[in-house]
């Protein structure tokens, strides 16, 4: 295996896509709690990209804006690097992992202090062609 072949597939791509066609995008250290981000990400998992875009544009949650940016980035990666048609893509994997937590202190009554956790998230979205997702799930012809 040559050096260029090794660079072509990263370990992250292997773990997310394997040998399937598709692309992914990640937003790391986003200042929103993972629990709030997961509520939004759960809405778009398994949806076609066009439906996911519409849903995220009108979702009232604050995390929807960030998830929409990650989705747009994943679609752009799929069309430029993989040469896939944007209209045929489906959100196959949508994941929110916990990032580092910033610890802050808040003064309270009688000289006490309580800790405030400012949590961060790592949001990952994978888009694949609809036929690749169908065959992966065993629903193909």
Q: Kindly list the domain boundaries of the chain, sorted by start residue.
A: 21-133
Nearest to 13 by CA among 120, 99, 93: 93
User: What pLDDT, in 10s, does the model give residues 8-20?
Assistant: 678 888 888 888 8
Q: Give pTM, 2 decimals.
A: 0.85
Q: How far apart are the first and last CA of the chain?
A: 34
The pLDDT of residue 135 is 72
The answer to whether 55 and 43 are in contact (CB under 8 A) is yes
Percent of the chain with pLDDT over 90: 72
Architecture of domain 21-133 in this structure: Alpha-Beta Complex (3.90)
pLDDT, mean over the chain: 90
Rounded to whole angstroms, how far apart are CA atoms 46 and 86?
A: 15
């Amino acid at each position: 295996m040559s050096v260029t072949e090794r660079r072509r597939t990263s370990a992250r791509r292997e773990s997310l896509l394997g040998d399937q066609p598709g692309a992914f995008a990640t937003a790391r250290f986003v200042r929103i709690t993972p629990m709030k981000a997961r509520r939004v990400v759960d809405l778009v998992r398994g949806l076609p990209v066009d439906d996911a875009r519409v849903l995220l544009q009108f979702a009232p949650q604050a995390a929807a804006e960030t998830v929409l940016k990650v989705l747009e980035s994943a679609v752009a990666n799929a069309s430029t690097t993989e040469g896939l048609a944007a209209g045929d893509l489906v959100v196959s994997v949508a994941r929110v992992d916990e990032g580092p937590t910033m610890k802050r202190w808040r003064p309270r009554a009688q000289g006490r202090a309580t800790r405030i956790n400012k949590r961060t998230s790592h949001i990952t979205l994978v888009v694949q062609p609809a036929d690749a997702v169908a065959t992966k799930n065993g629903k193909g012809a």
